[in-house]
Homo-oligomer: A and B are copies of this chain.
Amino acid sequence: MTEAPAGKPVLAVDLGGTKIVTALITPQGRILSREYSPTLAEEGVDDVIRRILTTATTLVKNADLPYSSLSGIAIAAAGAIDTEKGVVTDSPNLPGWHNIPLKARIEQATGARTFVLNDATAAALGEHRFGAGRGVNNLIYLTVSTGIGGGIIIGGKLYSGATGSAGELGHMTIDLNGPHCPCGNIGCLEMLASGKAIAREAQRLIAQGARTMMLEMAEGDARYVSAQTVANAAHKGDAVALSVVNKAATYLGVGLVNFVNIFNPEMIIVGGGVGKMGETLLRPARKVVAERAFQFPASVVRIVSSELGDNSGLFGAVAFVADADRSL
């Protein structure tokens, strides 16, 4: 068993659909420096990988830390990831990314060992090691943004299942007569409680003539009403926006009831863009849990907001490298 010396930083990359965030972070979770770059996935896979490398190289040069002095590079990416092989199998947010050997490409260019993992998985690990879930052995992390993803921590460790795809918590049927989901399933939690679902519901109400400030906020075009518009309007007390949030939060609560009855977790952490609504979203969801879940597990579970927000994936990448060292 070898262990990376304390202080040897990780180069953590959050590869999202719109931007690439790269940061040098110590194993203790201190961010030494950070760089942003647009993803521009439409320009092709090679260009995106070049942007990752350029940003990374800028960081390590400015910090005067050669790649060889890092404990590793870890990339949290949206989509289906084969973590063992370091391959991006498929990604809805990165068009054209099918079976891209990202680990191999980055290792070739940098000489540093590289890991690739799913971004929601990384966020779960990040919150567990550095955020709201510190010291919590069994927890569920749910990222509610455009879609809904998740991660499961059991016995203080990431649970990844038989082939690494465990934790698709957004793709659980909660309404078997509900809408078809692009994933192939029916009435998924994601179809009812995600940012997409929130925007769709707001647009539907506006089309029905609901009086709301949201239309004005979207410059008169309902197609531009997004989950963010709904959140902003709800924050200002707009009744229609609040009803949309409440509906989504109730659906979210139904999903949380399932997790409470199945997992009896100590904690459920809600992150992601929609999760940033915090108590506006969590209060009605907790009410559903209190009303419907088994009493004893419902009374012990803490349902809380992400502490690390947009950084949870980056911190998870750091934790992943540390775990890889421990398991050597």
- Give the interface of A toward B (CB within 8 A): 80, 137-138, 152, 154-155, 159-169, 171-178, 183-186, 251, 254, 257-258, 261-266, 291-297, 300-301
CA distance A154 to B258 in the complex (A): 18
Looking at the assembled complex, report how far the CB atom of A85 sits from the nearest CB atom of chain B, in whole angstroms: 13
The verdict on A297 contacting B161 (CB below 8 Å), with A173-B174, A176-B175 known, is: yes
Q: Assess the A266–B175 pair: CB atoms within 8 A.
A: no
Nearest chain B residue, comparing its CB with the CB of A255: B173
CA distance A254 to B265 in the complex (A): 23
State the oligomeric state as a number of copies: 2
The verdict on A297 contacting B162 (CB below 8 Å), with A176-B254, A262-B172, A292-B184 known, is: yes
Q: Assess the B160–A264 pair: CB atoms within 8 A.
A: yes
Q: Assess the A163–B300 pair: CB atoms within 8 A.
A: yes
Q: Assess the B297–A185 pair: CB atoms within 8 A.
A: no
Q: List 9 A-B pairs, minimum CB-CB distance, nearest first.
A: A161-B264, A166-B264, A168-B261, A162-B266, A185-B292, A172-B258, A165-B264, A171-B261, A175-B176
The verdict on A184 contacting B138 (CB below 8 Å), with A163-B296, A257-B173, A296-B165 known, is: no
Interface of A is mostly: loop
- A161-B264, A173-B174 given. 5 additional CB < 8 A pairs? A137-B162, A138-B161, A161-B297, A162-B264, A169-B262
The verdict on A162 contacting B292 (CB below 8 Å), with A168-B262, A171-B261, A173-B257 known, is: no
CA distance A185 to B80 in the complex (A): 32
Looking at the assembled complex, report how far the CB atom of A285 sits from the nearest CB atom of chain B, in whole angstroms: 13
CA distance A184 to B288 in the complex (A): 11
Q: Assess the B138–A162 pair: CB atoms within 8 A.
A: yes
CA distance A217 to B262 in the complex (A): 37
CA distance A150 to B240 in the complex (A): 41
Contacting residue for A175 out of B164, B165, B175, CB 8 A:
B175
CA distance A293 to B168 in the complex (A): 10
Contacting residue for A296 out of B80, B186, B262, B291, CB 8 A:
B80
The verdict on A162 contacting B291 (CB below 8 Å), with A80-B296, A173-B174, A174-B176 known, is: no
Residues of B within 8 A of A167 (CB): 262, 264
The verdict on A257 contacting B185 (CB below 8 Å), with A174-B174, A264-B166, A265-B161 known, is: yes
Looking at the assembled complex, report how far the CB atom of A210 sits from the nearest CB atom of chain B, in whole angstroms: 23
CA distance A156 to B160 in the complex (A): 14
Q: Assess the A166–B262 pair: CB atoms within 8 A.
A: yes
Residues of B within 8 A of A264 (CB): 160-168
CA distance A33 to B243 in the complex (A): 63
Q: Assess the B154–A292 pair: CB atoms within 8 A.
A: no
Residues of B within 8 A of A254 (CB): 173, 176, 186
CA distance A293 to B295 in the complex (A): 30
